[in-house]
């Protein structure tokens, strides 16, 4: 019978752990009889009592749970990668620990996998969150679809089920500063899309800060798209054409006597515009160069401090 591995990254989730663990166990009768389960919880170096709560649940559900504690905070996607390295299931699920993505969708996703689909995505159609946050989320995922991963579902996703073959492909690539969820879509396998409404967080406080969201956006764009570099090239060409036309205008105006004294203001405007463009271009190129260097150093994406069992 098939084995299902559920990877749950945790970061400051001490209040969520008992509730999420209980709900996962309660969902087991919804699966086909004989299905095996393993729940891999990865504590991403939380500063609260997440690890202690995980050990309590590990003792409460013997043989069901594997616990991983990272040495330092590596980020959600690296925590997921740590769980994937140790998962032994025929099929894997990535689930957040805060219950905003409903675990009760997993049995339906599992049923699609049994029909032969290798990737099943629970796609957010709506969110029980403030209007401003929903708007920013739509903009983010719209940009990602347009510039980086055009075959990704609209609205984004965090809950995903995928075959062991896809897991092995992701581990083999061993990418840094990437987005594992979009990497699964990028592989190109046909997927099933299950829409749902993301819940409002009822327990605990999110540590998904604005700086982390910005980094994820930059990582995703740069990992899957050459658009920023192409944009620099286009702007460079346009700027060169404008500079040439402006130069011709200056020469003609000087020869005809229309310009008596060169304008300091015009010179400064052009200088500032060109300098700003150069700094932006260097910044974008620097992002790509730094990520290339980071990958070439072969430093581990995560370090494990402790494991149970």
Spell out the residues 6+ positions from residue 197 whose beta carbon is closer than 8 angstroms to its own: 124, 125, 126, 127, 128
- For residue 127, what pLDDT is reported? 67
Q: How many beta carbons lie within 10 A of that of residue 138, not counting itself? A: 15
Of residues 204 and 253, the one with the higher pLDDT is 253
84: which 2 tokens? Answer: 């994937």
Res. 92: pLDDT tops 60? yes
- For residue 51, what pLDDT is reported? 93
- For residue 202, what pLDDT is reported? 66
Instruction: Grade residue 76 by pLDDT with cuts at 50, 70 and 90.
Output: confident
Average pLDDT for residues 258-267, to the nearest whole number?
62
Of residues 116 and 266, the one with the higher pLDDT is 116
Tens of pLDDT, residue by residue over 122-169, are: 988 776 666 777 777 778 778 888 888 888 888 778 899 999 999 999
- For residue 242, what pLDDT is reported? 75
């Amino acid at each position: 019978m098939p084995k299902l591995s559920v990877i749950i990254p945790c970061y400051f989730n001490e209040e969520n752990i008992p509730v999420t663990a209980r709900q996962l166990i309660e969902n087991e009768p919804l699966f086909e009889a004989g299905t095996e389960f393993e729940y891999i919880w990865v504590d991403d170096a939380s500063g609260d009592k997440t690890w202690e709560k995980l050990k309590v649940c590990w003792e409460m559900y013997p043989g069901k749970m594997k616990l991983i504690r990272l040495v330092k905070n590596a980020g959600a996607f690296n925590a997921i990668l740590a769980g994937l390295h140790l998962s032994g299931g025929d099929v894997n699920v990535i689930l957040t620990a805060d219950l905003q993505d409903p675990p009760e969708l997993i049995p339906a996703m599992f049923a699609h996998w049994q029909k032969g689909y290798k990737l099943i995505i629970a796609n957010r159609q709506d969110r029980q969150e403030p209007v401003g946050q929903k708007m920013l989320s739509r903009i983010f995922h719209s940009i990602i679809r347009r510039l980086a991963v055009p075959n990704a579902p609209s609205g984004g996703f965090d809950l995903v089920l995928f075959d062991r073959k896809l897991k092995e492909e992701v581990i083999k690539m061993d990418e840094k500063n990437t987005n594992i969820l979009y990497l699964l879509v990028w592989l190109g396998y046909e997927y099933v899309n299950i829409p749902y409404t993301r819940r409002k967080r009822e327990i605990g406080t999110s540590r998904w800060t604005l700086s982390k969201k910005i980094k994820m956006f930059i990582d995703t764009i740069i990992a899957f798209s050459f658009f920023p570099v192409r944009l620099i090239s286009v702007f460079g060409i346009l700027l060169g054409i404008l500079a040439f036309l402006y130069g011709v205008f200056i020469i003609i105006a000087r020869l005809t006597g229309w310009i008596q004294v060169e304008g300091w203001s015009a010179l400064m405007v052009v200088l500032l515009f060109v300098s700003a463009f150069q700094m932006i271009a260097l910044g974008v190129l620097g992002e790509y160069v730094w990520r290339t260097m980071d990958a070439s150093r072969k430093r581990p994406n995560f370090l494990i401090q402790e494991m149970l069992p």
